[in-house]
Amino acid sequence: MKSLLLMFSCVLLMGATTKSSSTAEPTIFGKWITIDDETNKKKSVVEIFERDGKVYGKIVKLYPREGRGPNPKCDKCTDDRKDQPLVGLEIIRDMEKDDDEYEDGTICDPENGKIYDCALWLNEDNTNRLMVRGYLGFFYRTQIWVRLPE
């Protein structure tokens, strides 16, 4: 009887563990494939992570592109990222969570060196899609990044 009770308890515990892990809330953390919104081609892989309570993102891989050398640098950047290699470049900085969105940070476009206010959120229909919006005043552009499969 004790062994039957122990086995039943283990089954209940495993079910509770499985349920709680499967209902974990999806996050923006991890690696994302950036997609060029004009050509629909993969541009890079950005890893989003947390540091000191804020969210950051850095380029961890570049996809080959015609006209770009093997180790490109952010030659158009004007801040501390100037002439830094694109791989390893922190393009998202100081994002803070506000409900289901991250905001109050910035994103750098290494193509033109410009820095924009930024908002990040998961697509409500598909959590493998990250909405990335860069603002400049009232003007904005939104890209959809795709979660890199593990």
Q: Print pLDDT tens along the chain (150 aa).
A: 444 333 333 333 334 434 344 567 789 999 999 998 888 999 999 999 999 999 999 999 999 988 888 899 999 999 999 999 999 999 999 999 999 899 999 999 999 999 999 999 999 888 999 999 999 999 999 999 999 987
pLDDT of residue 65: 87
pLDDT of residue 7: 39
Prediction pTM value? 0.82
pLDDT of residue 88: 98
CATH 2.60.40.10 fits 27-147, yes or no: no
pLDDT of residue 13: 38
Residue 107's closest CA among 76, 135, 88? 135
pLDDT of residue 30: 97
Domain ranges of the chain: 27-147
Pairing of strands 114-123, 101-109: antiparallel
The DSSP line for 3-62 is: HHHHHHHHHHHHHHHHHHHHTPPP-S-EEEEEE-TTT--EEEEEEEEEETTEEEEEEEEE
pLDDT of residue 23: 60
pLDDT of residue 150: 77
What span, in angstroms and rounded, lies between the C-alpha atoms of 144 and 123?
9
pLDDT of residue 28: 96
